[in-house]
Structure 1
Amino acid sequence: MNIALLLGFSPQLRTVAELLEGAGFHCRVFATGRELIHRVSQERYDMLLLDDALPDLPAMEVVRAVRSARAPDVPIILLAADNSEDKLVDALDAGADDYICRPLNARVLMARITALRRRVTGERLRQGLVVQAGPYQLNSMGRFATLHGERIAMTPKEFDLAMMLFSNVGRVLTSERIQQAIWHHELPPLSRALAGLISRLRKTLHIGVANGIVITVVYAHGYRLDVLEEGIVPRLPRATSRVSLPDRSDC
């Protein structure tokens, strides 16, 4: 397993490279965020471990740069000093897969690396799946969507959310289930991260009545994706729960 370790100002992380090498991993150490961003587009890594206190760039900017164009699928673990919920949510929203607070425990770090590696391996085994709904197709191999045959680039979280919704047409997916699948934990009660991601997905894929697909907010439950018939927006039975219809801006 080939791991890239981006060191910052934390002296404890200098022992992480020795720990990884001792566990049988090949570890390449980088001193700056710019160096890592440059190399990750040229070399293949199975996982990135990033310090959150870097000499040249904010750690979140490095995560976003890696995700946006260079290595959208590589697992990323952020090693941080701040254990606040806000920092955790910011890291996961930026594209990190896991967030571990210092001081690091060697056994915990290795267990988290192993767990993330196992999860990613399982996801890669399922690659190649193509999901279709209405005029849309989602290609899990390339992690992109097409609308009427035109390719649409997506962020990792947008694609993961789209795959969940498009694979469950007509079914209500609870907010908790979506959060666990996308962020791998439940978000704080007042977090707007999921609602914001839903909004960005609608805009990215041009979801609305015009394209025959709507995402409905199911009050106090979650979200549901529907394929329309002749422009008619389906509703849940009243006995199930109240449903808020899509905003006019979504149509």
Structure 2
Amino acid sequence: MGKKTAPRIASLEDAPADAALIRQVVASAGFECVSFSESRHLLLALRDAGFDLLLLDWQMPDLSGREVLAWVRSHLDRRIPVMFLSCRDAEHDIVSALAAGADDYMVKPIRPAELAARIDCLLRRAYPAQASPHAPLRLGDYAFDCALRRVTCNGQPIGLTPKEFDLAVLLFRHEGRIVTRDHITAAVWGREISPMSRTIDTHVSRVRSKLGLQAGHGMRLTPVYTHGYRLERLAHTERAAA
């Protein structure tokens, strides 16, 4: 199995001191943190790259954290956990954010140990399959036995090379989200690959072909230009129309 990559966390915070503290807490917990001081910059990044968790301030100079949350819940995988870090401590604000789709809410000032614990809890809750690299994985017609490194489709075994298996598991565990080329490189190969190399594209093509990732099986694997790939589970209407 390739090198395991750290979860990527996006932080929306316009106060430099708070942004620096959040980065320090996240990094100390073993996660990768990318800071954004404007909501529009975060939204642009979310269109192109995958994050495992979002930390949002409520009061921002452009779009509010509530508006960002509404966009995230309408356009991204709803399993992505979102946590508010805000000075707004009124009960109706907290209830409103949770009712709108936030998974957690912490009132500032930030308490580092508590923030790290809450982040860890949200990640474990949102991605239970990633808690153990050997945990079985089932999605649609597909079943992965990660301990024995076998995959079946409707009970029929499919032969994959070790790298193809690692790539397939990575894509299936991130179903609905963009998996960047850098993430694929680190997780499957554990080393840098030249941007000119066709290695990733070749392996993706083989995985798509061998697993039959098409509407008939309820899955679609599509490239995201210059960024990576996204595996999507099709709605019943799309599958029926195939």
Higher mean displacement: 9-18 or 109-118: 9-18
Q: CA deviation at 1:143?
A: 7.8
**How far apart, CA to CA, are the structure 1 residues paired with 2:97 and 2:234?**
23
Q: Does 1:24 align with 2:22?
A: no
103 and 127 in structure 1: CA distance in 2 versus 1, 3 angstrom threshold: farther
**How far apart, CA to CA, are the structure 1 residues paired with 2:78 and 2:35?**
20
Correspondence 1:170-189 to 2 at 5 A: none
After TM superposition, the runs of 4+ consecutive aligned structure 1 residues lying more than 4 A away are 123-127, 141-146
**3-state DSSP of counterpart to 1:72:** coil
Which of 83, 108, 116 is the matching residue for 2:89?
83
**3-state DSSP of counterpart to 2:127:** helix
Structure 1: which 5+ residue stretches go unaligned?
A: 131-138, 152-251
What's 2:118 paired with? Answer: 112
State which structure, 1 or 2, has the greater radius of gyration over its C-alpha atoms: 1
Q: CA deviation at 1:71?
A: 4.1
Contact 2:19–2:35, Cα closer than 8 Å, also in 1 = no
Tell which has more relative contact order, 1 or 2 (C-alpha 8 A, sep 6+).
2
Structure 2: which 5+ residue stretches go unaligned?
A: 1-6, 131-135, 142-217, 219-230
**How far apart, CA to CA, are the structure 2 residues paired with 1:106 and 1:73?**
24
Contact 1:5–1:49, Cα closer than 8 Å, also in 2 = yes
Identical counterparts, % of pairs: 34
Correspondence 1:133-172 to 2 at 5 A: 146=236, 149=237
Q: Does 1:15 align with 2:26?
A: no
Q: CA deviation at 1:61?
A: 0.3
33 and 24 in structure 1: CA distance in 2 versus 1, 3 angstrom threshold: same
**How far apart, CA to CA, are the structure 2 residues paired with 1:112 and 1:54?**
23
**How far apart, CA to CA, are the structure 2 residues paired with 1:28 and 1:15?**
12
> Could you give the per-residue CA deviations for residues 138-168 of structure 1, whole angstroms, max 9, x where no partner exists?
x9x968865xx479xxxxxxxxxxxxxxxxx
**How far apart, CA to CA, are the structure 2 residues paired with 1:6 and 1:20?**
13
What's 1:35 paired with? Answer: 41
Q: CA RMSD in A?
A: 2.8
51 and 126 in structure 1: CA distance in 2 versus 1, 3 angstrom threshold: farther
> Could you give the per-residue CA deviations for residues 6-27 of structure 1, whole angstroms, max 9, x where no partner exists?
1124743431112212222111
**3-state DSSP of counterpart to 1:41:** helix
Please report the TM-score for the alignment, with normalisation by the length of structure 2.
0.51
Which of 72, 89, 92 is the matching residue for 1:66?
72
Q: Does 1:98 align with 2:126?
A: no
What's 1:135 paired with? Answer: none
104 and 119 in structure 1: CA distance in 2 versus 1, 3 angstrom threshold: same
Which of 44, 55, 72 is the matching residue for 2:61?
55
> Could you give the per-residue CA deviations for residues 25-78 of structure 1, whole angstroms, max 9, x where no partner exists?
111111111111111121011111111121111110001111111343311111
